[in-house]
Amino acid sequence: MTRIVLDAMGGDHAPRSEVEGAIRAVRQLDVEVLLVGPRDRVRAELERQGGAEERAIRLIDAPEVIAMDEPLFQAIRRKHNSTIRVGMRLVREGLADGFVSAGNTGAIMAIAKMVIKPLGRIDRPALAAVLPTLSGRWTILLDVGANAECKPVHLLQFALMGDIFARTIMGVESPSVGLISIGEEQLKGNELTREAYRLLKKSGLRFVGNVEGQEIYRGCVDVIVCDGFTGNVILKVSEGLPPFLFKVLEEELLSHAQTEMGALLSRSALENIKRRFGYEAFGGAPLLGVKNVVVISHGRSTGRAIQNAIRVAAELCQKQVPSRIEREMEKLDQKSILLPEGAPS
């Protein structure tokens, strides 16, 4: 049985959503959940939700909580027994298989690099977002925030990790890989993308070239890579635009008397789409390129989103994605694609 550590104090609704997600997960999936947090508080919530009898949920005490907006240096230097740190130690020591948190993304990534450590051949672990698209397929976008500054070879590593993720978790046989740029031709873009294009072209991956922003949600490409600054901006814009569109739509619906009924009827549809779109459906963003499975869930995660994040983490563990990434990196290393002579690394 796969054992997943769940940071009980991660999200905005912690520990309520976390406890709900843990209960849902152990009831519906073949997992054991190690709930890490201030023991009494978590236990009380577990009792309140009627999950105290679940034998597949274990409580692990961790007294300190890192706040969403807590500065990184403080979170790392001062809080040695934070839920994130205690939870990751369990994973590192083999007492658990994977880690899930809806907490402070910066802190989770930094502590993962310190405690769990990057895979030997990965310079930069990357955060991957799994996006729903028009075509009905998921698109994996990485890096969405782990590395604000990237070199071309990092984008190649992201592509490789995304390819393995798409194969193993999405079941895509031969994933297409694209590169975010601002024009379709090879020479468009900036220095980073032009050199990354060259590396991707000879990588052996099914590289389909540059992808412009408006194509992301069409769902024609399985894996799309970019530096973490660009990826984070894409993700945040994708989060900020829907509320604006929905508000305009509601106004539009309500502005005509004859469509008031339409507005009324559409409300539930709007609620559904809000739930269907974005983080809740997929549940979490995997941090790829560290030695163990780490999945970061959205701060606003509901119990259902947490359950989905646990499901994704368990699947990543069962399919041994970290060690697969390591093996593929070795192959590339042997073909000396990762550090081609004269190429900036």
* Residues making contact with its own copies (CB under 8 A): 71, 106, 132-134, 145, 148-149, 180, 182-183, 185, 188-191, 193, 212-218, 228-230, 232-245, 247-249, 252-253, 256, 258-259, 261-266, 268-270, 272-273, 276-277
With left for phi above 0 and alpha for psi between -120 and 50, is residue 94 left, alpha or beta? left
Least spacing, CB of residue 344 vs its own copies, in Å: 15
Q: Are strands 176-180 and 31-37 parallel, antiparallel or unpaired?
A: unpaired
* Residue 36: both structure tokens together: 């890490």
The nearer residue to its own copies, 71 or 120, going by C-beta atoms, is: 71
By beta-carbon proximity to its own copies, the closer residue of 4 and 200 is 200
Give the closest residue to 108 by CA, choosing from 124, 87, 123. 87
Q: How far is the CB of 216 from its own copies (least distance, A)?
A: 6
Radius of gyration of the chain (CA): 21
Task: Write down the least CB distance from residue 252 to its own copies, Å.
Answer: 4
Separation of CA 225 from chain center: 14
Shorter beta-carbon distance to its own copies: residue 56 or 234: 234
Compute the least distance from the CB of residue 309 to its own copies, in Å.
20
Q: Is the peptide bond before 30 cis (omega within 30 degrees of 0)?
A: no
CB of 339 to its own copies, least distance (A): 23
For its own copies, the closer of residues 276 and 327 by Cβ is 276
The distance of closest approach from Cβ of residue 69 to its own copies in the complex, given in angstroms and rounded to an integer, is 8
Treating both helix axes as pointing N-terminal to C-terminal, what angle do 16-28 and 303-318 enclose, rounded to 10 degrees?
A: 50
Q: How many residues does the chain have?
A: 345
Rounded to a whole number of angstroms, the minimum distance from the CB of residue 156 to its own copies is: 19
Of the two residues 62 and 180, which places its CB atom closer to its own copies in the complex? Answer: 180
For residue 49, what are its two tokens? Answer: 């939700």
Nearer to its own copies, 50 or 240 (CB): 240
Nearer to its own copies, 277 or 318 (CB): 277
- Euclidean distance between the first and the last CA atom of the chain, given in angstroms as a whole number: 40
Q: Return the exposure string of 43-78: e unless at least 16 CB atoms fall within 10 Å of the residue's CB, then b.
A: bebbeebebeebebbebbebebbbeeebeeeebbee
User: What tokens appear for 102 in the block?
Assistant: 């809806």
